[in-house]
Structure 1
Amino acid sequence: MEVIIANMKDKTHEYRVSSGNKMELYFAILCGVFLLVGFIIQKLTSLSNWFFLSSYIISYFFGSYFITIEAYKKIIKGGFDIDFLMIAAAAGAFYINKWAEGALLLFLFSLGHALEHFAMNKAKKSIEALGKLSPKTALIKKHDKLEEIPIKNLCINDVIVVKPNTKIAADGVIISGSSSINQAPITGESIPVDKVFIDNKYHLPKFKDIDKKHIVFTGTINGDNSIEVLVLKLSKDSTVSRLIKMVSEVETQKSPTQRLTKKFEKWYVPLVILVVSLLCFAYLLIDESFNRSLYRAITILVAASPCALAISTPSAVLSGIARAAQKGVLIKGGRALEDLGEITTIAFDKTGTLTEGKPKLTHIIPLNNFDENEFIELVLEVESLSNHPLAKAIAKDIKTHYNIEPQNKASNANAIQGKGIRAIYNGNNVYIGNVKLMEDSGINVEPSIISKMVNLLENGHTVMIVAYKDKIIGLISVMDLPRKTAAATLKRLKEIGIKHMVMLTGDHQNVGDAIAKQIGLTEAKGNLLPEDKVAAIKILIKRDKKIAMVGDGVNDAPAMALSTVSVAMGAAGSDVALETADVALMSDKIENLPFVIGLSRASKRIIKQNIWISLGVVTLLVPVTILGLTNIGLAVTFHEGSTIIVVLNALRLLRFKMD
Structure 2
Amino acid sequence: MAEDKLRLEIPVLLPAAAEACERCVQQLAEVLASRPGVAEAHVQGREDAVLCVHFDPAQISASQVRALAVQQGARLASASGHANFRLSQPLHARAARTLADDLRGRPGVLHADVGVTGAVLVEFDPAKVEPVALEAYLLERAAALGQSNAEAARRKSSAKEGEHGGHEHKPGEGREHKHGGPFGERTELVFAGLSAVVLLIGWLASFRLEGAIPLAFYLLAYGFGGYFTLREALENLRKRRFEIDTLMLVAAAGAAALGEWAEGALLLVLFSLGHALEHYAMGRARKAIEALAELAPERASRKRGDTFEDVPVEALEIGDIVMVRPNERLPADGVVVVGESSVNQAPVTGESMPVDKRAAGHDIAFETADAAQKVFAGTINGVGALEVRVARLSGESTLARVVTMVAEAEAQRSPTQRFTDKFERIFVPAVLLGVFALMFAWVVVDEPFSVSFYRAMAVLVAASPCALAISVPSAVLSGVARAGRGGVLVKGGGPLENLGRLQALAFDKTGTLTEGRPRVTDVVPAVGVDEARLLETAAAVEGLSDHPLAAAVVTAATERLPGPPGRAEAVESITGQGVRGRFGGEDVFIGKLKLFETVPGAPVPEQVRSEVERLSSSGRTVMVVRSGETYLGVIGLQDTPREGAAEVIAALRRLGVKRMIMLSGDNQGVADAIAAKLGLTDARGGLMPEDKVAFIKALREQAGGVAMVGDGVNDAPAMANATVGIAMGAAGSDVALETADVALMADDLRRLPFAVSLSRQTSAIIKQNLLVSLGMVAFLIPATIFGLKIGAAVVFHEGSTLLVVFNALRLLGHRDKP
TM-score calculated relative to the size of structure 1:
0.86
Q: Which residue is 2:270 aligned to?
A: 108
Kindly provide the amino acid, as one letter, of the partner of residue 168 in structure 1: L
Cα distance in 1 between the residues matched to 2:542 and 2:794 = 81
Cα distance in 1 between the residues matched to 2:337 and 2:537 = 29
Deviations 1:399-451 (A, max 9, x none): 8xx8x9x98x4475335743578589xxxx9x99679999x9x9999976764
Q: Greater share of helix residues, 1 or 2?
A: 1
1:317-396 equivalent positions in 2, closer than 5 A:
317-363=476-522, 386-389=543-546, 390-394=549-553, 396=555
2:791 to 630, 633, 645: 633
Deviations 1:164-183 (A, max 9, x none): 11100001111222221111
Cα distance in 1 between the residues matched to 2:371 and 2:552 = 17
Q: Which residue is 1:125 aligned to?
A: 287
Following TM superposition, by how much is the alpha carbon of 1:489 offset from its aligned partner in structure 2, in angstroms?
Answer: 1.5
Work out whether 1:31 is the aligned partner of 2:190: no
Q: Which residue is 1:184 aligned to?
A: 346
Deviations 1:77-130 (A, max 9, x none): 443221111111111112222222111110011111111221222222211111
Deviations 1:276-296 (A, max 9, x none): 112222223333322222222
- Give 3-state SS (helix, strand or coil) of 1:550's partner: strand
2:405 to 246, 256, 272: 246
Greater mean deviation of Cα atoms: 388-397 or 94-103: 388-397
Contact 2:536–2:566 (CA under 8 A) maintained in structure 1 = no
Identity %: 49
Structure with greater Cα Rg: 1
- Give 3-state SS (helix, strand or coil) of 1:168's partner: coil
Cα distance in 1 between the residues matched to 2:608 and 2:699 = 40
Q: Which residue is 1:193 aligned to?
A: 355
Kindly provide the amino acid, as one letter, of the partner of residue 22 in structure 1: R
Work out whether 1:645 is the aligned partner of 2:811: no
Q: Which residue is 2:31 aligned to?
A: none
Kindly provide the amino acid, as one letter, of the partner of residue 214 in structure 1: Q
- Give 3-state SS (helix, strand or coil) of 1:167's partner: coil
Deviations 1:48-100 (A, max 9, x none): x4443333222212111222233334444443221111111111112222222
Cα distance in 2 between the residues matched to 1:119 and 1:497 = 31
Kindly provide the amino acid, as one letter, of the partner of residue 207 in structure 2: K
1:57-206 equivalent positions in 2, closer than 5 A:
57-199=219-361, 201-202=362-363, 204=365
Following TM superposition, by how much is the alpha carbon of 1:225 offset from its aligned partner in structure 2, in angstroms?
Answer: 1.2
- Gapped regions of structure 2 (runs ≥ 5): 1-163, 572-578
- Give 3-state SS (helix, strand or coil) of 1:481's partner: coil
- Give 3-state SS (helix, strand or coil) of 2:392's partner: coil
Cα distance in 2 between the residues matched to 1:75 and 1:507 = 65
* RMSD over equivalenced CA pairs, Å: 3.9
Cα distance in 1 between the residues matched to 2:784 and 2:523 = 83
TM-score calculated relative to the size of structure 2:
0.70
Cα distance in 1 between the residues matched to 2:726 and 2:566 = 46
1:44 to 208, 212, 215: 208
Cα distance in 2 between the residues matched to 1:581 and 1:385 = 32
Q: 1:338 to 1:129 in 2, by over 3 A?
A: same
Q: 1:434 to 1:31 in 2, by over 3 A?
A: closer
Cα distance in 2 between the residues matched to 1:235 and 1:557 = 27
1:414 to 547, 550, 568: 568
Cα distance in 1 between the residues matched to 2:714 and 2:604 = 38
Deviations 1:222-243 (A, max 9, x none): 1121111111111111111111
Work out whether 1:293 is the aligned partner of 2:455: no
1:526 to 685, 702, 726: 685
Greater mean deviation of Cα atoms: 63-72 or 123-132: 63-72
Following TM superposition, by how much is the alpha carbon of 1:148 offset from its aligned partner in structure 2, in angstroms?
Answer: 0.9
Contact 2:624–2:634 (CA under 8 A) maintained in structure 1 = yes
Q: Which residue is 2:722 aligned to?
A: 563
Contact 1:577–1:584 (CA under 8 A) maintained in structure 2 = yes
Cα distance in 2 between the residues matched to 1:191 and 1:16 = 45
Q: 1:398 to 1:176 in 2, by over 3 A?
A: farther
Deviations 1:457-514 (A, max 9, x none): 33343456899xxx99997533333222222212222232222222233334443333
1:271-282 equivalent positions in 2, closer than 5 A:
271-282=430-441
Structure with the bigger RCO (C-alpha within 8 Å, sep 6+) is 1
Q: Which residue is 2:464 aligned to?
A: 305
Contact 1:21–1:117 (CA under 8 A) maintained in structure 2 = no
Q: Which residue is 2:617 aligned to?
A: 458
Greater mean deviation of Cα atoms: 446-455 or 238-247: 446-455
Cα distance in 2 between the residues matched to 1:39 and 1:497 = 54
Cα distance in 1 between the residues matched to 2:506 and 2:303 = 47
1:468-617 equivalent positions in 2, closer than 5 A:
477-617=636-776
- Give 3-state SS (helix, strand or coil) of 1:181's partner: strand
Aligned residues: 638
Kindly provide the amino acid, as one letter, of the partner of residue 179 in structure 1: S
Kindly provide the amino acid, as one letter, of the partner of residue 150 in structure 1: P
Q: Which residue is 2:429 aligned to?
A: 270
Q: 1:385 to 1:516 in 2, by over 3 A?
A: closer
Kindly provide the amino acid, as one letter, of the partner of residue 655 in structure 1: G
Cα distance in 2 between the residues matched to 1:3 and 1:175 = 34
